[in-house]
Amino acid sequence: MVSAIAAMKKLGMDPTKSSAAVQGFGNVGSWAAKLLCEKGVKIKGVSDISGAYWNEEGINIDEAIAYKNAHNGRLEGYTGATSMDPDELLTSAVDVLVPAAVEDVITEHNAERIQAKLIVEGANGPTSASADDIINRKGIMVVPDILANSGGVTVSYFEWVQNRLGYKWSEGMVIERAARIMNDAFEKVYATSQKYKVPMRIAAYIVAIDKVAQTYKFRGGY
Amino acid sequence: MAVTTVYKEPAPIVDRENPLESMMSRFNIAAEILGLDESTYNVLKAPDKQVIVNIPVTMDNGQIRVFEGYRVVHNTILGPSKGGIRYDMHVHLDEVKALAAWMTWKCAVVDIPYGGAKGGIICDPTKMSAGEIERMTRGYTLALKDVFGPDRDIPAPDMGTGPREMAWLMDEFSKTTGATSPAVVTGKPLVMGGLWAG
């Protein structure tokens, strides 16, 4: 969620005065909620397969994760929030929306009603192509999946680097270095989106393809 | 903040009808803005390598079953290829190709020195014993020993696989090559130098 905080900064949002809703409370969603919460973001709504839960004052995420872990990985029966219609979670009055469950949850049917100023795609492909146009027209910033959930491959890379070195970094070093890589990637994609005046999703592809194409040019050989 | 949950390479749900084409349509918009010529498009459209292997496995009942496995290396221009291995009944070569391409873009966007790959075996691991899965994993690794390697192609967990399978893969590869090679695969158990995921 390094990219979420970086994006909030670009949008002039103060994390301690912002709220978020997180759809999906599995591995990605619960970690996203926890990390945003640590930065002072008020997590007003979360959902999982058992339903959606809302607390205007902010959900105690550590408590919710502990509850989930003690109840078969589900939030069903959690009393720290009130139940709400899961479909309404996506269009609720929050500043940041983190779809971290399944694909195609933001579509042309609900995109118009989204109130968040920032969408961070924890899941893969949560925004359908038909919703992209509406979201762009509304001026909502989307941190695309390819960027938002690339923390995993970054940490995989660190595993490989350490294996090759025959050395083990401290946990703090792994976290610090991963944050730097994610932050640099966000800045690059953001600058590209400004330069070409395109949404972040297209900008991410531009960054990736440009790097590959340029390397081909230098290496040549075909 | 250490967690023991294992990182699985997230992958987009791709259009089953035409997975690679739908992947490349996003590519096209970006390529147009960059003014990429058609030859570069053609190079990147097709994966570098597609390997199909048949893996005979002695099942617990004594019979031999043959599983079909794939490894697609989409591109290695930025470094050795990286991507998960999926054990699922819906594994399909076209989808593996699209997911391999997605890994190329994903590694490039975060600027880590990897290309993109993806692999899979058509199987239902929920209906197989640990021994059967182990023999299948070792068979797959042996069949792909010339594809995998710390400087060639580095697998990781994906749907239906985890640290257990990665440990078997590392073991089989190390025995085959005669050199302990922890860096041939990521997502290994923590005790084997596996990662912190977060």
* Per-residue model confidence as pLDDT tens digits over A81-101: 999 999 899 999 999 999 998
Q: Which of B11, B110, B194 sits opposite A154 (nearest CB)?
A: B110
pLDDT confidence bin for B54, thresholds 50/70/90? very high
Domain that holds residue B87: 47-192
Q: What is the mean pLDDT of residues B88-114?
A: 92
Q: What is the mean pLDDT of residues A145-168?
A: 92
Q: Do A204 and A121 belong to one domain?
A: no
Q: Do A30 and A79 belong to one domain?
A: yes
Q: What is the mean pLDDT of residues B2-14?
A: 51
Q: Do A130 and A176 belong to one domain?
A: no
Q: Do A11 and A108 belong to one domain?
A: yes
Q: Do A141 and A158 belong to one domain?
A: no
Q: What is the mean pLDDT of residues B95-120?
A: 93
Could you tell me the two tokens for B152? Answer: 């060639």
Residues of chain A contacting B38 with CB distance shorter than 8 Å: none
Cβ distance of B193 and A159 shorter than 8 Å: yes
**How many angstroms separate the CA atoms of B55 and B91, rounded?**
15
Last residue of a domain, one of A131, A148, A165: A148
CB A43 within 8 A of CB A4: no
* Whether the predicted pLDDT of B89 surpasses 90: yes
Which of A149, A156, A170, A206 is the best substitution to test chain B (most B C-beta atoms within 10 A)? Answer: A156
- Single pTM value for the model: 0.87
Q: How many domains would you assign to chain B?
A: 1
Residues of chain A contacting B12 with CB distance shorter than 8 Å: 103, 124-125, 145
Q: Do A99 and A140 belong to one domain?
A: yes
Q: Which of A154, A159, A212 sits opposite B194 (nearest CB)?
A: A159
The pLDDT of residue B9 is 56
Interface ipTM above 0.85: yes
The CATH number linked to A48 is 3.40.50.720
Which residues, in sequence order, are CB contacts of A57 under 8 Å at separation 6+? A42
Q: ∠ CA(A14), CA(A15), CA(A17), 5° rounding? A: 70
Give a yes or no: residue B179 inside a domain: yes
Q: Which of B13, B112, B150 sits opposite A125 (nearest CB)?
A: B13
Domain that holds residue A171: 151-219
Cβ distance of B196 and A160 shorter than 8 Å: no
* Per-residue model confidence as pLDDT tens digits over A192-204: 999 999 999 999 9
CB pairs under 8 A between A and B: 151
Q: Which amino acid belongs to residue B147?
A: V
The CATH number linked to B94 is 3.40.50.10860
Q: Do A93 and A164 belong to one domain?
A: no
Could you tell me the two tokens for A54? Answer: 């809302």
Cβ distance of A216 and B77 shorter than 8 Å: yes
Last residue of a domain, one of A120, A148, A176: A148
pLDDT confidence bin for B40, thresholds 50/70/90? confident
**Residues of A14-44 as b/e, b for ≥16 C-beta within 10 angstroms?**
ebeebbbbbbbbbbbbbbbbbbbbeeebbbb
